[in-house]
Structure 1
Amino acid sequence: MITGHIFIATSVDGFIARENGNIDWLHEIDTKNEDHGYVQFMQNIDAIIMGRGTFETLSAIRPWVYDIPVLVLSKTLADQSTPTDLIGKVRFVNKTPKEAMALLENEGCRRVYVDGGRVVQSFIYDALITDLIITQIPLLLGNGRRLFGDIPNDIFLQHQKTKTFPSGFVQSKYIIKR
């Protein structure tokens, strides 16, 4: 059975990006070369699902940052060709979260990293996420794009652990209760 997983950073006031989608603030903080567990997390991931905004933020980085398949959910990009250097690495599809997970499961994927604000929200609302690792960065943005928007009903979480880092980062892991 396929499962969805989140590993994401937020400001203390709950934003994942500025209003314009910029995440420059993530790179401005001195992490003191800390290991926040991302590499270990990714070792158990078979594929990544992200939205158009996240893809556009990452698309200028070369070499491409991922060595596992990336599925970009986008009505807009689904009609466009994949950039030549990303063929075999990135696919654009116009699918619902459930359809995207079914597609990857049929391809043999078991653990999927879900990234991007609206995509994360839709996967949580469709009960496709198993757990969340949220790292709070010691910064107040004041406004921007929230990790969680309006939700139609309560979603209960079970706290697994919290870890603090010398940089002031606070990382918590939650399992979504069903």
Structure 2
Amino acid sequence: MANYVYIATSLDGFIATADGGVDWLDEIPNPEQSDFGYAEFIGRVDAIVMGRNSFEKVLTFGSWPYEKLVFVLSNSLKHVPENLVDKVEIIGGDNLKTLVNHLDERGYHNLYIDGGRTIQSFLAEDMIDELIITRVPILLGDGISLFGRLTEKLPFRHQKTEILNNTLVKSSYIRLRE
């Protein structure tokens, strides 16, 4: 059982603009139409867990981008759009460990954790096993930060760094456990 983060940030550590915008990601030059390793990564996970805000942002993209089942953490959403009934489940609850254990019992052992608050909540509970962060060479100046406050240090070990398309810096970090 493992929980993974795979996300892009600006150089100043933001995952979105203050209003939740991610249009700046579309400005990344990609002449070879590379997925920058996403397909390989998504092949390692069984399902995706994201927060309500991220889910609502993805709904604005037009087409649904995920083939894996998506669990949306929300205590306020009650229904998913009809076209996503077999692709999305809303799950509530404030205890992430209970939630992850429940998903593990259902056969979802390796989870892709997505969305600013959701990632911060999982980190606060020390429930992230690997961080894969791609830094995009742009300064946003303000926005939604990837990281929030923690009550204790969480040591990670650098696993590898790749330069993608002579533009992006993708680094992987594994959580050190005692």
TM normalised by structure 2 equals 0.93
2:36 pairs with 1:67: no
> CA separation in 2, counterparts of 1:35 and 1:21?
22
Q: Output the CA distance in 1 between the equivalents of 2:175 and 2:147.
A: 14
- Distance in 1 between the 2:80 and 2:10 partners? 32
Structure 2 partner of 1:99: 98
Q: Which runs of 4+ in 1 moved over 2 A?
A: 31-35, 60-63
Structure 1 stretches of 5 or more lacking a match?
A: none
Contact conserved, 2:126 with 2:154, CA < 8 A, in 1?
no
Deviation per CA, 1:106-145, whole angstroms, max 9, x where unpaired? 1111111000001001111212111010000000001101
Task: Name 1:122's counterpart in structure 2.
Answer: 121
Task: Show the counterpart of 1:54.
Answer: 54
What CA RMSD, in Å, does the superposition of the two structures yield over aligned residues?
Answer: 1.3
Structure 1 residue 34: Cα displacement: 3.3
Secondary structure at 2:129 match in 1: strand
Deviations 1:73-95 (CA, angstroms, capped at 9, x unpaired): 01111xx2221111121111212
Q: Give the length in aligned residue pairs.
A: 175
Q: Secondary structure at the match of 1:45?
A: coil
Q: Equivalent residue for 1:45?
A: 45
Q: CA deviation at 1:20?
A: 0.8
Q: CA offset at residue 60 of structure 1?
A: 2.9
Q: Report the Cα distance in structure 2 between the residues aligned to 1:81 and 1:36, rounded to whole angstroms.
A: 33
Is 1:5 aligned to residue 12 of structure 2? Answer: no
- The answer to whether the Cα contact below 8 Å between 1:30 and 1:167 also exists between their aligned partners in 2 is no
Match of 2:36 in 1: 36
**Aligned match for 2:85, one of 84, 87, 91:** 87
What percentage of aligned pairs have identical amino acids?
A: 41
On the 8 A contact 1:15/1:146 being kept in 2, the answer is: yes
CA distance in 1, matches of 2:126, 2:30: 33
Match of 2:162, SS state, is: strand
Rounded to whole Å, the distance in 1 between the matches of 2:19 and 2:109 is 33
Q: Which range moves more in the overlay, 28-37 or 51-60?
A: 28-37
Contact 2:162 2:171 in 1 (8 A): yes
CA apart distance, 1:35? 4.0
Question: For each residue in 1:25-44, what CA deviation from the matched residue of structure 2 results, as whole angstroms up to 9, or x when unmatched?
Answer: 01122133334111110011
Query: Structure 1 length as normaliser, TM-score?
Result: 0.93
Q: Distance in 2 between matches of 1:149 and 1:97?
A: 17
Structure 1 Cα separation of the partners of residues 167 and 40 of structure 2: 21
**Does structure 2 conserve the Cα–Cα contact (< 8 Å) formed by 1:9 and 1:135?**
yes
